[in-house]
Structure 1
Amino acid sequence: MSLLDESGPLAIATRLLRLSEQIRRDGFLVYKENGIDFQPKWFPVLYILHHKPVLSVLELAAEIGYTHPSTITLLKELEKEKLVRSKKDKQDERKRLIQLSAKGEALLRQMQPVWHMIAAAATELLDTPHNLLAALTEVENQLSEKSFLARAKAYAPTNNAADPK
């Protein structure tokens, strides 16, 4: 156990990032071993567009839970790879609509058997008495009710010197 692991809740973000990076790295290798040139960071966009074929950038950002700038950066990469395409909305020309390209649709068809492998491996990994997936959902729900910042501020030391009483 590392010193960070021993720090308990103080390093939760670091440990989640470490776990995410390990699963992403291995996910990349699963795709590669199956002859698929794919970056796991593209998954949320392609998966959502597979189920909701045309979305605005803002709708897509909301669906994947990323900021607008992060979504734009990811979309630029996917457009460069010719996996998605965009067009202006006929009702509102300021709005860009995003959809899978023919190449993106072909890639998804190739990926679907691999998704079954990944889902099975993830299910096996998550099959623990503590059910990480359920715990993640609980924490995400708690954060939607009250931010981490608000929670941390509740534990801020009080500055009695500034108090005029």
Structure 2
Amino acid sequence: MKQGLGTQLRHLIELLDGAVAASYEEAGIDYRPRYTPVMRALAAGTPCTVGQIAAAAGITQPAATQTVALMLKEDLVATMPSPADARQKLVRLSHRGSALLPRLQQCWAATSAAAASLDADLPYPLSDTLAQAIAALEQQPFGARIRAARNRLTSTGALDEQKEKS
């Protein structure tokens, strides 16, 4: 039986994230892969708002907020009030985060080379396929595609036939 798209994606993430997490551990770095988009966004040294981090990292603002909160607990980032608006916090790398950056960049280079190796082993590079899938879903979200499919199946009676078979 062919696995569904969500199951395949979760399994792929498990395979990739597990290996990346293991590579940090092998390098003697106590670090979670989910921190990488935030670390990269802050690597230039310019403090950013959580919204700016989310935009630069290509993640949602709630994901950025949760990740920054975890990173604060591990002393990888620090916050300070924005000089422009004291109600807004700016996030920057802490001393510990800055000191860790060169070792992380070495790990990221190895991960990037491994990703290129994976792309080379596939008939279509996974990175290109994922970029195309993201672009297609930005044009028409998956929820809209589900609703359209449900409407087509309902109008043709195919959905009712599926229910009767169940």
- TM category (shorter chain) comes to 0.7 to 0.9
Q: What is the CA RMSD across the aligned residues, in angstroms?
A: 1.8
Per the alignment, in what secondary structure is the counterpart of residue 130 of structure 1? coil
- Runs (4+) of structure 1 exceeding 3 A deviation are 157-160
* Matched positions, count: 153
> Once structures 1 and 2 are overlaid, which stretch shifts more, 150-159 or 30-39?
150-159
Deviation at 1:159, TM superposition (A): 6.6
> Matched residues in 1 for 2:45 and 2:117: separation?
28
Letter in 2 for 1:35: G
Deviation at 1:52, TM superposition (A): 6.2
Superposed, which structure 2 residues align to 1:115-130 within 5 Å? 115-127=108-120, 128-130=122-124
| Other-structure match for 1:58 | 51
Per the alignment, in what secondary structure is the counterpart of residue 41 of structure 2? helix
The share of aligned pairs that are identical, in percent, is 31
Deviation at 1:104, TM superposition (A): 0.4
Gaps of 5+ in 2: 157-166
1:151 counterpart = 2:142: no
> Matched residues in 2 for 1:90 and 1:53: separation?
13
Match of 1:85 among 60, 66, 78: 78
1:142 counterpart = 2:106: no
> Matched residues in 2 for 1:141 and 1:105: separation?
33
CA distances 1:93-149 after superposition (whole Å, capped 9, x unpaired): 221111111110111112222222211111111212211111111111111111111
Match of 1:32 among 25, 35, 38: 25
Per the alignment, in what secondary structure is the counterpart of residue 35 of structure 1? coil
> Matched residues in 2 for 1:28 and 1:125: separation?
17
| Other-structure match for 2:97 | 104
Deviation at 1:80, TM superposition (A): 0.8
Letter in 1 for 2:130: L
> Matched residues in 1 for 2:131 and 2:62: separation?
25
TM-score, length of structure 1 as denominator length: 0.84
> Matched residues in 1 for 2:59 and 2:109: separation?
25
CA distances 1:20-73 after superposition (whole Å, capped 9, x unpaired): 111111111111111111111111110111146221111112222333222222
1:13 counterpart = 2:30: no
Per the alignment, in what secondary structure is the counterpart of residue 21 of structure 1? helix
